[in-house]
Chain A
Amino acid sequence: MLNQLTQYLQSTVTPGQAGSMLWATIYILVIFAGISLCVVFINWGERKALAHFQIRLGPMRVGPHGLLQPIADALKLLLKEDTIPANADKVVFWVAPFIVTTAAFVVYLVVPFGPQHAVTDMNIGILFMLGVSSLGVLGIITAGWASNSHYPLLGSLRSSAQMVSYEVAMGLAVISAILMTSFTPGSGSGTLSMIGIVEAQKAQGVWFLFKFFPLGLVAFVVFAIAMIAETNRAPFDLPEAESELVAGFHTEYSGFRWSLFMLGEYAAMIAVSSIAVTLWLGGWMRPFPNLLSGTNWDTIFSLVPGAFFLFLSAVTLYSTARMPKKLTFRIQTVGLGAFGLLLGAVGLVMLVPGVRERVQDIFWFMLKVAVFMYLYIWYRATWPRYRFDQLMRVGWKVLLPLSLGVLIVTGVVGLSPELMTWLKGVL
């Protein structure tokens, strides 16, 4: 057992590449649990942030600042009656939510949280992610059809049209980022592997967001728009437009199955955000690798994760001190204090020299993903929903030509040295 642990700590590759079944299983379990937990608390964060955008308080009753609201919600959903409409196609109705959730979670096999922190590194990494996440739409379509009801069917037809159209622009934007990996000096060919893409950014010394400015930026913006449409979120949430379709494809679902749809949706949001982070924002690399380079800055940046947790702990302890001094709030106060101390302990562990080098990759990756998750909520609070024909027009007439153009121009700019020598030879 100890032997396994030391072997793991010394390895510099992912468990999948090292061929270690044990650690791959552990990684899968940790990622599954971690992402589910993230989903639950992003849900709380979304309700809270939306409320503050709209000058409300949001959930306040369960736990301090409604912190325990997601747990109460999850319990409620599990205990709720799970109804199946009388005329529904039972088997397909039963399978559909599982398709959505499975497709959303299988994608995490290749997400690189760090050079060693991924379940495995595949040669076809990004292709695998796009392929498996496109299977999620099957679950949505079958859910809408199996409900045997008008609104879900309309919602699922909208959803399939929308996801198929935006997949095209999304794929082309991804290709232009993959094309950039082939311009690493001395490599000769690009790569589709998620870890390889981040390493190419490291070797070229630039995040692909800023590569061939503004080409990388344009491709990133196309991807950022398409990924919102792909995950059916506002302002592209037509499949579940509540003002027109009640709740779209999951109108007939309730209880546990409904919560599986929610879990799948949020897990898919985190997954596409992590694609964006990997392709354009340097994956697990710390910010400002060029401007603030050197071992001193490396050490300072590796202290940031611990300091961040200590800051969170300080905030929590401060609000513990500000809790109302009434007997009814005693349990909440003690709980919040214990939570603050826990955060502080995590922060202190993260400051230990051996640990911090290994943990900082995960921290930077998750921080970048968290920015995207906040953007999702921000968009939802800010923009009104598109009309369906507008949505199709944006997808096919704006994003598709734009991403195609960026792809071609990226190729030309990347090959410009070779083109110049060729031109000189011709002239």
Chain B
Amino acid sequence: MTPIAPTFFFYFLSAVALISAILVITRKNPVHSALALIVTLLSLAGLYLMLYAPFVTGVQVIVYAGGIMVLFLFVIMLVNIERAMKEEEFNKQWIAGLIASLLLGGLFLAVYFKGRAIFPSEFTKIPEQMNTQQVGMLIFQNYLLPFEIASLLLLVAIVGAVVMAKKKLS
């Protein structure tokens, strides 16, 4: 199977994802951060496409970039941004954050170098035309129970939100 896109796209998409991810945490204005996060999510979708997973790409775009980020922006806009920007950050914990992220990065590197044995030497090649069908088979046959448990969890969250938003009956 020939690659769909040259290696250039991998580096390009990774660079876009990293730069916009840095913008997410450095921008003062939360709306700019949210927009940068959308760019990150979209370039991740492109990376999924390079991994022969078009279905995951579609879901990434429709759920994260199209759904969740719209709600993010919706909430951010209701906040008075100008006042929020003038306020001092009350918890300057960037040293703790740096240590935590370094530890996480070290963990990833350790897994990558020491744990090569766990990963298969080459990934199973599914024809691109059948990707969605394969995902469906896996979800509804092999992993039916975990899938249903996850949906139950979401149902609990929805019921909780409805209960909290409900008007109190006196």
Contact = CB atoms under 8 A, between A and B. Distances in A.
Interface of A: 89, 91-92, 95, 122-124, 127-128, 130-132, 134-135, 137-138, 141-142, 145, 153, 156-157, 160-161, 163-164, 167, 189, 191-192
Contacts of A167: 66-67
Contact of B55 (A95, A127, A130): A127
Scoring A92, A131, A141, A142 by chain B CB atoms within 10 A of each residue's CB, the highest score goes to A131
B77 A131 contact: no
Given A132-B61, A141-B77, A123 B54 contact: yes
Given A128-B58, A189-B133, A160 B70 contact: yes
B78 to A, nearest CB: 8
Interface stretch (B11-19, B30-38, B91-99, B114-122): B30-38
Interface in B106-133: 128-133
Binding site secondary structure of chain B: helix
Contact of A123 (B32, B62, B70, B129): B129
Interface string B57-97: 11101100111011101100110000000000000000000
A135 B74 contact: no
Contacts of A124: 54-55, 57-58, 131-132
A141 B34 CA distance: 12
Interface residues of B, number: 29
7 contacts: A124-B58, A127-B59, A127-B132, A134-B62, A138-B69, A141-B73, A145-B73
Contacts of A142: 31, 35, 73
Given A134-B62, A142-B35, 18 more contacts: A89-B31, A92-B32, A92-B35, A122-B54, A123-B54, A124-B58, A127-B58, A127-B62, A127-B132, A131-B65, A132-B61, A138-B66, A138-B73, A145-B31, A145-B77, A163-B70, A164-B70, A164-B71
Interface of B: 29, 31-32, 35, 38, 54-55, 57-59, 61-62, 65-67, 69-71, 73-74, 77-78, 128-133, 136
A141 B67 CA distance: 13
B43 to A, nearest CB: 14
Contacts of B29: 89
A123 B128 contact: yes
A135 B31 contact: no
- The 10 A-B pairs of least Cβ separation, nearest first, read A134-B66, A127-B58, A131-B62, A131-B61, A124-B58, A124-B54, A189-B133, A141-B73, A123-B54, A160-B74
B31 A92 contact: yes
Nearest to B131: A123
B32 A131 contact: no
B58 A131 contact: yes
Contact of B61 (A92, A122, A135, A157): A135
Contacts of A192: 132
Nearest to B76: A145
A24 to B, nearest CB: 14
Contacts of B74: 141, 157, 160-161
